[in-house]
Amino acid sequence: MKITNAWSGTLTGGHTNSNGHVQASWTGDVWPRAAEIIRYSYKGWTDDDIAKFQNMLTTQCLPSLIHGTCENGNKELTISEAIINIDVFNDNRAAFDFGIKMWRGRAPATIYLKTDVQKPVEPVGCGPAVWGNKGFTPEFVDGLLQESASDSQHANMAFAGMVDAAETARQQGIDLYAEQGKRIVAAMEFQAQYLPPNGAKPPENLEFNLHPTRKIA
């Protein structure tokens, strides 16, 4: 609560650099969760401090998120999750609905299914997404994520944003899991096949960095 109050009382200028929308999404997707717990489990957080925090989310985070980026899966899906989480906390139904709309436009375009036929679904309003990396385009198979050709971490960040947003929506009475369940399961199966210690060898040019490179002290 002290950390939240300190930021909400001093943060100005929003997130304005070239990666500002990502910074806003990385904070906007998790911070409201913590604040939600504090708000409804601890009576020491005053109404004034809650209002300051809501204002920070509205003025310092949301402007960097609300228009999306059309860049790639992990950014856009984390942005949609942040919009959804912020506006649950802020009780802003219109912005929440916009976050759901963004999710619905991006989630089908992030995971490929053979039923998409020859090419992946395009993200709504963005044109074709980039599925390759450094001149390499992967074979389109069920469960392939848009950023699988980059590395497993970015693909997993996109997947995490997708399912975390779906879970928040479920608690608000919207079943996004049902809408994209086949894609979600296919992506889980695709990623899981390469998990150590007995995982398959990833296809050439797919970078599945699943083993940590730094030991915990």
Q: How confident is the model over 85-122, as pLDDT tens digits?
A: 999 999 999 999 999 999 999 999 999 999 998 889 99
Q: Which of 110, 97, 94 is nearest to 173 (CA)?
A: 97
pLDDT of residue 210: 47
User: pTM of the entire structure?
Assistant: 0.90
DSSP 25-76: HHHHTTHHHHHHHHHHH-TTS-HHHHHHHHHHIIIIIHHHHTT---S-HHHH
State the residue for tokens 């609560």. 1
pLDDT of residue 107: 96
Question: Is 203's pLDDT higher than 80?
Answer: no
Question: Is 217's pLDDT higher than 60?
Answer: no
Helix, strand, or coil (residue 133): strand
The DSSP 8-state label assigned to residue 29 in this structure reads: T
Residue 209: pLDDT band (50, 70, 90) is: low
User: 54 or 19: whose pLDDT is higher?
Assistant: 54
Q: Which of 23-27, 66-70, 158-162, 173-177 has the lowest mean pLDDT?
A: 66-70
Q: Which of 155, 180, 156, 152 is nearest to 166 (CA)?
A: 180
In DSSP terms, 145 is beta-bridged to: 111
Q: Which of 99, 116, 100, 117 is nearest to 108 (CA)?
A: 116
Residue 205: pLDDT band (50, 70, 90) is: low
User: 69 or 203: whose pLDDT is higher?
Assistant: 69
Residue 214: pLDDT band (50, 70, 90) is: very low
Mean pLDDT score of the chain, rounded to an integer? 90
3-state helix, strand, coil in the chain (%, to 5): 55, 0, 45
Rounded-to-integer distance, Cα 73 and Cα 81, Å: 12
Residue 208: pLDDT band (50, 70, 90) is: low
User: 130 or 212: whose pLDDT is higher?
Assistant: 130
Q: Measure CA 156 to chain center.
A: 10
pLDDT of residue 200: 81
Token representation of residue 96 = 């929440």
pLDDT of residue 215: 39
Mean pLDDT to the nearest integer, 186-206: 81
- Can you give the three-state secondary structure of 164-187, one letter per residue? HHHHHHHHCCCCHHHHHHHHHHHH
pLDDT of residue 204: 65
Structural domains of the chain, with CATH: 2-192 (1.50.10.100)
Rounded-to-integer distance, Cα 80 and Cα 100, Å: 7
pLDDT for 131-151, tens place per residue?
988 888 888 999 999 999 888
